[in-house]
Copies of this chain bind each other. A is one copy, B any other.
Amino acid sequence: MAGTDHTKTPEPALSDLATPTVILVEPQLGENIGMAARAMLNCGLGDLRLVSPRDGWPNEDALAASAGAVQVIEAARVFKTTAEAIADLNFVLATTARHRDMTTRIVTPQQAAGEIHAALSKAGNRAGVLFGREAKGLKNDDVTQADAIVMVPVNPAFSSLNLAQAVFAVCHEWYLAAIGDAERPALAIPKETRPANKAELNGMLKHLGDELEASGFFHVAGKRPVMDRNLRNMFQRANLTEQEVRTLRGVISSLTRTHEK
């Protein structure tokens, strides 16, 4: 076949990887679709599907709000029904903000991440998460097509999440599970002492800076801002207690008196 194959090797799309699909059902505002695409790409996801977007597709507002997640917007596919949009998926979760009058298993985003990983670990399997339209959420007919419900735990007195926020909340847990603990930064042991507040720390630092200035420490003009920052950074990391700040002020005063002799 040499000489007849002129097709380029396509770049692997994010959607080709074993990542979950995001399905927005009847989204209304293009801006929210764009922000959802941005949130997806923040979490390494690329396969976006839209079920009957109210304002049609493509949508300029979506592109603008995606803040550069153009590849997600351009690869998005539109379907007429939820059933068609999820036809090739083996494992589907439905995101809802409220309890439904139906018997359904509910998982947290963290648990959802584990289940999606388990589903995707089988060759050829595809998984996805359904998100309903703004304000009203998913219809019960959509929810019953899912294997389980994902509910993002939020303040019950104010539980309405922005659509892109909900997408991020679910997808980010998947991303965290995907990168694993190894790549997360390390934790230092917190102090048990009562920490100084910022006014106390700043008071000490200003005291120190002023005395250094008076002593001619900043002999090069303009040197103080950089030195101030370096000193602040040092003392900040020290996690000083209120007592220690007072001690340091005593030290500064004492050194100054010696200096003035």
Contact = CB atoms under 8 A, between A and B. Distances in A.
A154 B171 CA distance: 10
Contact of A160 (B67, B111, B147, B199): B67
Contact of A158 (B42, B126, B152, B237): B42
Interface stretch (A47-55, A82-90, A211-219): A82-90
Interface stretch (A1-9, A56-64, A100-108, A253-261): A100-108
Contacts of A103: 187-190, 193, 233, 237, 239-241, 244
A232 B143 CA distance: 10
B185 A108 contact: yes
Interface in A124-182: 125-126, 140-141, 144-149, 151-155, 158-162, 164-165, 168-169, 172, 175-176, 179
B236 A147 contact: yes
Contacts of A151: 185
Contacts of A223: none
A107 B183 CA distance: 12
Contacts of A144: 229, 232-233, 236
Contacts of A67: 160, 162
A38 to B, nearest CB: 7
B188 A236 contact: no
B164 A179 contact: no
Given A105-B188, A148-B188, 5 more contacts: A87-B202, A105-B187, A105-B237, A106-B188, A165-B168
